[in-house]
Chain A
């Protein structure tokens, strides 16, 4: 499943995958504490808090829709993030899959039939009970070919859907066509209310329902906060859900906060000013701001949380698509030695120093070291080595003439365009340094920042580009990256949506991804995904640069903050409270 992230100017590959061993049952539900209307509430592990208060965060773009199923970009999905929930959820610290709207689950011995027991007593915001019908309706909608959404891609195996059925009002069963490794991590999609949306769905208007002009009270979910007001380009306001199904260890109904506000600001600089003025409570710090933020933490009454490397990937990629790239460029770009030369030519230490103020680490493979479950450290490395780069270029038939220009055998000068997202100063600075590095080898690089949406359409529709510096957000399970690394993938940037794998290594990667998806055994899946990382690091369809370290400033007046780089500062929003 893919989401586009405007803030990081990153085409996001958000998907979910497996890690819980097959046959794992949900956690045993604690006996106490209780809530009057919910027999088995989920007991939150957070410390005690105080009821009341408002949390203010900022975001840099307006939502495009409130329809969580069809939302394709983080600006929309984050806007309804506190409103909708899934059957299961990932723990922000451990990244383990835990019960959410399902109390527990079981899996058949063949690993194909999954039975979920729904949590009883959960109510939609308008008071209607949540039942198995809502789950069935959600899957009806997302598997409907007329409903264009990203969830269906990840929940489809070899063109086949997962079968699902209501067993009784509080039990749902899923049967996968083959054993499906990433099942638990993909099944936690947000559940939507049948009673509100069925009429629109039957009328074939599902895609258009719940647009941003819908009265917010109509957007009915089960989450900790209800959307109450949307003022375009200004703010989204949320109020506490008084019937929420989580409870603190002391027996207090959660969430603690009364209200939440998402301010919509024009850019990151404004977000920073708002935080420094005390108007917002959370700010994602960029690397070069880190020291100054740390220095002023006491004065600004906030703490700086360091989360280590992120889960995403930033890279430069070359167009190898015969439908887009033309000779002679196509010839250079599809030569693996050319790409390896580029990888050796990039001065990553300089990127770390000059762009990230030291707050980054070099990255050579497609998975981040942060991904403790799947990261393979034994892939090919590309330390900065211009001499090696030059030697590799020579092997591809590119050599420098008297004038210092790099030319191919037909004496075409090696010249191409490098694009990145305009307005992201870090991406522009990185591209400039890469351009410098490549021009030192005699190439001519025309660097041109472009609008983010234009870049995305070049990558997935028009194919008329040479080289692009861009990024992807990531998740724990590499199955997330299927739409990028599988040769049929729509974000298989360098040559998307192939009918047949164009190269032997792409064919092998398809086998790795298909095989890993239908494997349930954790260790064997890890082996397969180790191989995928080796192939990418060897073939370099994307040439990773550096992995920046995450850091977030959070106001000290908030309690129960358990920041992680995976979940961020607010993953346990129900536990967070305002200190008095």
Chain B
């Protein structure tokens, strides 16, 4: 009796749908592609904040606070020039109104020497992508109450806000997959206990818990440590709902043939969960990540509103702008809000596109 020998030694592989096909679908999804580009730009600008920002994060011009965003001009005295800005002089100290001093144009220079920094704490440099000669200033988004450049602060703030999303989501995902996977795979008593814990966490009025936990962070901790603690607090609750859905998926997956086969071959439980069961939830996980990641940025903004967020994050910058005088006279200080909105929208459109791209039932031509 001869039959074709199956490749016995090869473990049953999870069903990997064509990644290439998914990528094509994604690229055709214009909004999603735009979202992906925006996200990449945001992360790149945060990563290269030191050279991209015209000034250093500690820079302030004590004379030019509440400075409006500068106009970038090309016409000086009727003649076309390379892009330049004028110097701004204080016109009314009461309302902090500034006027352009049209006497002399200050061309915007590329790769200029400016505030010194150590890039990523390693490479010492003082090169900045853009800059202008003093006394003019390249305040692309104006300055705040202390004369700090809002655009520079936004780039450095992005490091914090965007990292909070990534790290928080990573913790949530690992925890959620682990707990959901174990609960779903083993079922029974263990499942019962874990799911009750999940329900308990979901039942908490989470924002109050955030408020409470962030209020008890001691004052002495460094801002980096504080950020990590805020992330931990935000992910503490976030994983519960996620684990529940993974558990549901695993519950049905463990009865599938290839899992049974793996079990028959005597593979260890954890190996089966990690290698055979969970990979079948990846498409779902990726979509969930892109859709829930903005929640961390928004959550941190919410804490900042109560003065409990992370120093210099976007939410913290926005919280300082909640004042009628700012709204009516210095509206450029709302820029962090625009960036938060942009990030959230970009992640949502990307998530939408990913869902279409990874959905096996949505066949494209």
Contact = CB atoms under 8 A, between A and B. Distances in A.
Contact of A357 (B96, B219, B323): B96
Given A269-B324, A354-B65, A354-B145, A417 B219 contact: yes
A199 interface: no
B65 A292 contact: no
B146 A291 contact: no
B94 to A, nearest CB: 3
Given A354-B145, A417-B220, A291 B307 contact: no
A415 B94 CA distance: 36
B62 interface: yes
A446 B220 contact: yes
Contacts of A446: 219-220
B78 interface: no
A60 interface: no
Contact of B92 (A291, A350, A417, A433): A291
Interface string A36-61: 00000000000000000000000000
A489 interface: no
Interface in A411-437: 415, 417, 422-423, 425, 429, 432-433, 436
B307 A269 contact: no
A286 B92 CA distance: 17
A351 to B, nearest CB: 11
Nearest to B96: A357
B363 interface: no
Interface string B60-78: 0010010000000000000
A235 interface: no
B134 interface: no
Given A350-B62, A354-B145, A432-B146, A291 B324 contact: no
B145 A429 contact: yes
A81 interface: no
B95 interface: yes
A354 B325 CA distance: 13
B325 A288 contact: yes
Contacts of A433: 146
A358 interface: yes
Contacts of B147: 354
Interface string B208-222: 000000000001100
Interface string B139-150: 000000111000
A295 interface: yes
Contacts of B307: 422-423, 449
Interface string B195-211: 00000000000000000
Contacts of B10: none
Given A269-B324, A290-B94, A353 B65 contact: yes
A370 B96 CA distance: 27
B365 interface: no
Given A292-B95, A294-B94, A357-B93, A425 B65 contact: no
Task: State the main secondary structure of chain A at its contact with B.
Answer: helix
A485 B65 CA distance: 37
A273 B219 CA distance: 35
Given A295-B95, A358-B94, A433-B146, A289 B219 contact: no
Interface string B255-271: 00000000000000000
Given A291-B95, A294-B94, A358-B93, A273 B220 contact: no
A295 B325 CA distance: 14
A425 B323 contact: yes
Interface string B305-329: 0010000000000001001110011
A200 interface: no
B98 to A, nearest CB: 14
A272 B324 CA distance: 9
A200 to B, nearest CB: 39
Nearest to B327: A269
Nearest to B311: A447
A227 B332 CA distance: 46
Contacts of A354: 62, 65, 145-147
A423 B62 CA distance: 24
A460 B323 CA distance: 32
Interface in A444-464: 446, 448-449
Contacts of A291: 92, 94-95
B62 to A, nearest CB: 6
Given A292-B329, A353-B93, A417-B220, 18 more contacts: A269-B323, A269-B324, A273-B324, A288-B325, A292-B328, A294-B94, A350-B62, A353-B62, A353-B65, A354-B65, A354-B146, A354-B147, A357-B94, A422-B307, A423-B307, A425-B320, A436-B146, A446-B219
In the A-B complex, list the 6 residue pairs whose CB atoms are closest, starting with the nearest: A291-B94, A291-B95, A448-B219, A417-B219, A446-B219, A422-B307
19 contacts: A269-B324, A288-B325, A291-B95, A292-B325, A292-B329, A294-B94, A295-B95, A353-B93, A354-B145, A354-B146, A417-B219, A417-B220, A423-B307, A429-B146, A432-B146, A436-B146, A446-B219, A446-B220, A448-B219
